[in-house]
Amino acid sequence: MYRAPRGTTDILPEQQAYWRYVEQKAARICRLYGYERIDLPMFEDTGLFTRGVGEGTDIVEKEMYVFEDRGGNSLALRPEGTASVCRAYLEHGLHNRPQPVKLFYIGPAFRYERPQAGRYRQHNQFGCEAIGDADPALDAEVIDMAWQFFFSLGLGLFTVVINSIGCRKCRTEYLSALKEHYRPHIDDVCPDCQVRFRKNPLRLLDCKNPRCQPIADGAPKSADYLCLECTEHYAEMKRHLGILEIPFKEDRRLVRGFDYYTRTVFEVQPEAGGSQSSLGGGGRYDGLLEELGGKPTPGVGFATGIERMVLGLTRENIPVPPIPGPEVFIAHLGNEARDAAMKLAATLRRKGAAVLISTGGRSLKAQLRQANNLGIPRVAIIGEDEVRTGTVMLRDMTTSRQESVPVEKLVELVV
Ligand code: AMP
C-alpha cells in the first residue's frame, strides 16, 4: 500500500469547507487592498532561489527539492513565492504598469523540513507582493492587510512583531558588529550557529537552541545600526501603523529566513506558541529585483501558510460555511423508472439543481439510507405508478413526510 509522502497531506472533502473559507477571505482582503491574482509555475530554475532567497539560507541549503530534468536543466520545486513573483514582474515588463504592482498568489510551496504539527514538506501559501514603491506607508498597509486577514478569519489572539534590519549599506556595519560580538563565543554556540557565523550571520539571532540564547540576547541590534534613511523609513512605517491602529510589538532580534529582506521585517504570531508557529510573515525586499537582473526596484510583501489557518480554525472550533451538497436524491424502482429517473436528473441538473441519482439495483430502503447518510434533504422516488402518472413521490428526509408531486412542480420546487 502506498501512503502520501512524509510531510504531505490529503485534503479530504470534509476539510474542503475550511480551505474554501480561507481562500475566500484571502480573495476578499486582496480585493479590498487592490491586489490581483497571479498564478506561477511550481518549479523554477534553481538559480532563481539560490540567487533570490540566498545561498547561505537553510531553505536553499537544506530544504529545497532540486532535480535535473531530462534536458539536463537544474530545477527546484518552489520553496516560497516571492522570488517567482519578482521573476514574473521582470519577465513580463510589469514596471510599465502603474506602480506599485500589487499581486497575490495561492498555491503550494515545498520544503524538506522535519514534519510536525503545522510544518509540512508541501504546504500552501497565500502571499501578496507590492512591487515598485519604497514608501513606508506601503509596508504599513501590507502589515495592516495581514492583520485584517487574520482578524477576518475569526482566529483568536495574535500579535504583530516588527523590526528593521536596514539596507545593504547599514547592514555591512551591523554584520561586522554582530560577528565581533559572537567571535569570542564561537566555541560555545551550537554547530548550526558556527556555520551561520561564517555564512549567514544575521540568522544567528534566530537560533532557538537554549545554549545560544544568552549570546543572542546580548548581541547588538540591527535597529541601532540603521543609516539615516533606514531610521526614517522605520519611524515612518511605525507612524503609519499608528494611524491604522494596528497594535504591534518590536522584537529587535527578529530576522527572517531569506537573504532578500531589507528594512522592514514582520511576523504575525499567535499569542500562544511563539515564533516557531508564526501564522505569517513578510517584509521589504528592495534589493531582490536587482539581484534577479532587473533595475533597482523596491518591493514589500507577506506570506502565510493556509494549513496553519485551517489548524487554528479547527482548534478554536470556528464555524465555517458548509459547502452545499445535493438538493435532491432520486430513488427508483424497476427498469422503466430508472430511465425516467435518469431523464429527470438530467432535466434538474440542466436547470441548475444539484442532484444525485441512485446507481445499481438497490432496494428502496437501501436508497433511502444512502440519501440519509449523505445528508440530502429530499428524495424523489419513482416507481411504475409515478412513471405512468408523470409524478414523483417527494419525501422530506427530516420529517419522513411524503407527497405525490407532478414532475414539472418538482422542477420548480428544487431549482
Ligand atoms: P516563510 O515563507 O518562511 O516566511 O513562511 C510564511 C508562512 O508560511 C509561515 O508563517 C507559515 O504560516 C507558513 N509556512 C512556512 N513553512 C511552512 C511549512 N513547512 N509547513 C506549513 N506552513 C509553513
Q: How far is CA 51 from CA 62, 66, 225, 232, 318, in A?
A: 15, 14, 26, 29, 41
**Model confidence at 273, in pLDDT bands (50, 70, 90)?**
low
Query: Closest Cα to residue 293, out of 48, 99, 50, 96?
Result: 48
Q: How far is CA 94 from CA 70, 88, 100, in A?
A: 32, 8, 10
Q: Is the CB of 119 under 6 A from ligand 1?
A: yes
Query: What angle is formed at CA 246 by the lines to CA 33 and CA 34, rounded to 5 degrees?
Result: 5
pTM of the full structure: 0.92
Is 154 exposed, middle or buried (CB count within 10 Å of its CB: 0-12, 13-18, 19+)?
A: middle
pLDDT-above-70 percentage for the chain:
99
Q: Is the CB of 307 under 6 A from ligand 1?
A: yes
Dihedral of CA 300/305/308/313: which sign?
Answer: positive
Query: Closest Cα to residue 340, out of 376, 378, 385, 372?
Result: 385
**Residue whose CA is at the smallest distance from ligand 1 atom 2:** 80
Which residue is listed with cell 515598485? 132
Q: Is the CB of 80 under 6 A from ligand 1?
A: yes
| More confident of the two residues 195 and 41 | 41
**Residue whose CA is at the smallest distance from ligand 1 atom 11:** 305
Buried b (16+ CB within 10 A) or exposed e, 352-390: ebebbbbeeeeeeeebbebbeeeebebbbbbbeebbeee
- Ligand 1 centre to CA of 207 (Å) is 17
Q: Is the CB of 113 under 6 A from ligand 1?
A: yes
Q: Is the CB of 308 under 6 A from ligand 1?
A: yes
**Residue whose CA is at the smallest distance from ligand 1 atom 23:** 305
The x, y and z cell numbers of residue 12, run together, are 479530504
Q: Per residue in 145-202, pLDDT tens?
A: 999 999 999 987 889 999 999 998 898 899 999 999 999 999 999 998 998 898 888 8
Residues ≥6 apart with Cβ < 8 Å to 194: 186
Q: Which of 21-30, 50-59, 151-160: highest mean pLDDT?
A: 21-30
Query: Closest Cα to residue 247, out of 148, 106, 116, 356?
Result: 148
- In this prediction, residue 284 carries a pLDDT of 97
Assigned CATH topology for domain 328-414: Rossmann fold (3.40.50)
Which residues in the chain are classed under CATH 3.30.930.10? 13-167+227-315
Q: Is the CB of 280 under 6 A from ligand 1?
A: yes
Q: What is the mean pLDDT of the chain?
A: 94
Q: How far is CA 104 from CA 84, 302, 339, 397, in A?
A: 12, 10, 48, 44
Q: Which helix (H) or strand (E) holds 222?
A: none
Query: Closest Cα to residue 203, out of 275, 118, 309, 95?
Result: 275
- Ligand 1 centre to CA of 414 (Å) is 44
| More confident of the two residues 199 and 319 | 319
- Ligand 1 centre to CA of 372 (Å) is 40
CATH code 3.40.30.10 for 13-167+227-315: no
The answer to whether 92 and 262 are in contact (CB under 8 A) is: no
**Residue whose CA is at the smallest distance from ligand 1 atom 15:** 305
Q: Residues 1-25: what's their mean pLDDT? A: 96
**Residue whose CA is at the smallest distance from ligand 1 atom 20:** 119
Q: Is the CB of 78 under 6 A from ligand 1?
A: no
Q: Per residue in 350-364, pLDDT tens?
A: 999 999 999 888 999
